[in-house]
Each structure stands twice: as C-alpha cells, then as structure tokens.
Amino acid sequence: MIRMDIEDEDDINKARRRVRGFLSENGIDRYPLLRSYMLTIVSELARNIYLYAKPGKVNVSMIDEGKKRGIKLEFIDHGPGLDLEKMKKEELGKNGLGLGLTGSKSLSDEFSMDSSPGRGTHITCIKWIK
Amino acid sequence: MYEAQRIPVLKIDENLITSIQIELSDRMVVQLQKDILEKIKKTGAKGLLIDVSSLDIIDSFIARSVINIARTSKYLDAATVVTGISPEIALTLLQMGF
C-alpha cells in the first residue's frame, strides 16, 4: 500500500509517478488498459484535491476478495465537501470538477463517494483485474 | 511562481512541430499552449504537429488543453494534427466521455 499527501501542484505528478511504480511492482504493467485507467483516475482526483480541497491524501492498495484481485484507490480530503443532491440536479460533468469526477467514475468498476458540505470528501474507486 | 519547464516548438518550413518527451505537469501544459499560439502568430505557420507518443497518460486536463490548442490554432489559420495516441489512451479517453 502507498500513501501520498496532496498539497501543491507537483504532488499531482509525484502521485502519478509513485502509482506507476506501485503498479509495476504488482505486475499491472501486463494490463496496459488497466494501468492507463488507474493512472488517469489518480491524476484526475489528485488534481481535484489540489484545486478544490487541499491538503488531502491518496491511498493505493491491492485488494483480494475471494478469487478476485483488484486495485483500490482512495482520495480523502477535509475540504469544503460537495452537496451531492445539488450536484445530481445540476448534472455532474458540466464544469471542470465534474469532468474529473464523472470520468473517474466511468473508469472504475466500483465507485463510491461520501461527502457533504463542510465535512470533506472520501472517494473510493475499485478496479478488478480481469 | 517559477517559470514552467518548456517543451520545444520547432518550425520546419510552414509547419510547427512539437514532441512531448517528458512527463507533463499542468503548468507545462499551460505554458505549451501559450508558446504554440505565440509562435503561430509570429511565424504564420499553416500546420501544427503535436506528437504525444511518449506519454503514457492523457487525463481530462491534458486532453482539453490539446483540444483547445487545436481549436485556437484553427482561428489563427493553422491546422493541427495529433500523432502517437496509444490505444490504451484512446480507450481511456473514450470511456471518460471524450
């Protein structure tokens, strides 16, 4: 498992680099599409933390569930949080924040977001190795 | 804020060529956008080639920036060609809704 802090702009690149190394060590280079999805999600959501809710954390780990093996990405911040009901009404994806979020959701097999105004945001993305 | 590391933009005949060979930061993307547009204006180039074959990731920020470069270049009368998008990157962008 790796843990990274996101505080300034360079941390977005650092996160991408460390996740590259992590995926490599765990044999994910054999799955180029999965690798691309994972790196892209990290880039999108680390940037969202930097732009809207810094400082925050990114955790990346390998997970096992029965016979399934997967990668779990977590993005945690204590920023302004999101009003999920309001965002649903306004349709995610209309602004910069939404594009990274909806994009990351589409790239994940399992996606969950826990957030409310003033309480920060916790996003979990899981991708199973097929 | 210190100046971002620059990606070279070369002029060959009527065209500009830029090949992104290093890991992109957001600052560098913004700088590249500025440099390309200024150079098109200065040289009156008619074509722009952006080679992204060394990149292993193109996220929404980079994708949008490249699209913006192509659109703005068109207004300045230069046509853009992007080369070297890997199949994985193409599929990732498609999946994200581009």
Question: How many residues can be counted in chain B?
Answer: 98
Model pLDDT for residues A41-70, shown as the tens digit of each residue: 999 999 999 999 999 999 999 999 999 999
**Contact indicator for B16, B41 with CB cutoff of 8 Å:** no
pLDDT at residue B3, as a whole number: 61
Residue B2 has pLDDT above 60, yes or no: no
Q: B6: Cβ–Cβ under 8 A, 6 or more apart, which residues?
A: B28, B31, B32, B35
Domain range annotation of chain B: 10-96
pLDDT at residue A100, as a whole number: 87
Residue A80 has pLDDT above 60, yes or no: yes
B97–A102 C-beta distance less than 8 A: yes
**Contact indicator for B51, B15 with CB cutoff of 8 Å:** no
CATH number of B10-96: 3.30.750.24
Q: Does A9 contact B at CB distance below 8 Å? A: yes
Model pLDDT for residues A14-45, shown as the tens digit of each residue: 999 999 999 999 999 999 999 999 999 999 99
**CA proximity to A98, closest of A109, A86, A110:** A86
Report the alpha-carbon distance of residue B57 to residue B53 in Å, rounded: 10
Q: Which residues of A touch B61 (CB under 8 A)?
A: 43-44, 47, 100
Q: What is the bridge-based pairing of β-strands A2-6 and A68-77?
A: unpaired
Q: Where is pLDDT greater, at A8 or B4?
A: A8
Residue A91 has pLDDT above 80, yes or no: no
Model pLDDT for residues B17-50, shown as the tens digit of each residue: 999 999 999 999 999 999 999 999 999 999 999 9
Fold category of A2-128 in CATH: Heat Shock Protein 90 (3.30.565)
Report the alpha-carbon distance of residue B37 to residue B10 in Å, rounded: 13
| Residue range B71-94: mean pLDDT, rounded | 97
Model pLDDT for residues A104-120, shown as the tens digit of each residue: 999 999 999 998 888 89
DSSP A4-42: EEE-STHHHHHHHHHHHHHHHHTTGGG-HHHHHHHHHHH
Average pLDDT taken over every residue of chain A? 91
Name the residue in chain A with its Cα closest to that of B59.
A40
